[in-house]
Amino acid sequence: MVLQYMNHLDDDEFQKAIRELRLTKSIWTIDLAYLMRHFGVKHRFCTQTLGVDKGYKNQSFYRKHFDTEENRVNQLFAQAKACKVLVEKCTVTVQDIQKHLSQGHVAIVLVNAVLLLCELCSSPVKYCCFLPIGQKCFCRNPDYQGHFIVLCGYNKASGSIYYNNPAYADRTCSTSISNFEEARTSYGTDEDILFIYMDS
């Protein structure tokens, strides 16, 4: 979504990058940082955990891919500096995010989709696997459902954050800052945020 918005997206080149970076069905924020680096997009990845948090091993959302992904993801973090992928262990405030957005940039944020509520959508977002309407969902309501959104703006007066949800290409969503904070700081997210600089 971000690469397309920046006119960096050529489908053949994107598929080649997916293969070269060995991106699997399980995508971590560090994978997205490497993808931005591959396309020469200036970025800054902020997280609370440099590597894989072993505490997630027994969480239903992570359980399926945890053992196979742990070494791969930890290796990506270890090689980040040498590969010119900018990763920082730090806390990001809403004010930091608003400043970034006010400069015309965007950010990719890992949120707990169970908690994120769009104020503009007429019905609640179906977070479970983001299945199209009409398809039966067999999973239980999880405590955590990791999902990436792209922040694109905010309204300080109304206390709203605007974002694009890759599950819904036809709309821009909005939520309160308090709801956004709850979803992005939920256990399971590591407060991952990938700042993207549009002047790259």
What CA–CA distance (Å, rounded) separates 123 from 116? 13
Provide the whole-model pTM: 0.87
**Least confidently predicted of 36-50, 87-101, 118-132:** 118-132
Q: Tens of pLDDT along 8-67?
A: 777 888 889 889 998 877 899 999 999 999 999 999 999 999 999 888 887 877 777 788
Domain ranges, ordered by start, for the chain: 2-196
CB 23 within 8 A of CB 33: no
Rank 44-58, 101-115, 120-134, 167-181 by mean pLDDT and report only the highest. 101-115
Taking CA 80 as the corner, what is the angle to CA 12 and CA 20, rounded to the nearest 5 degrees?
25
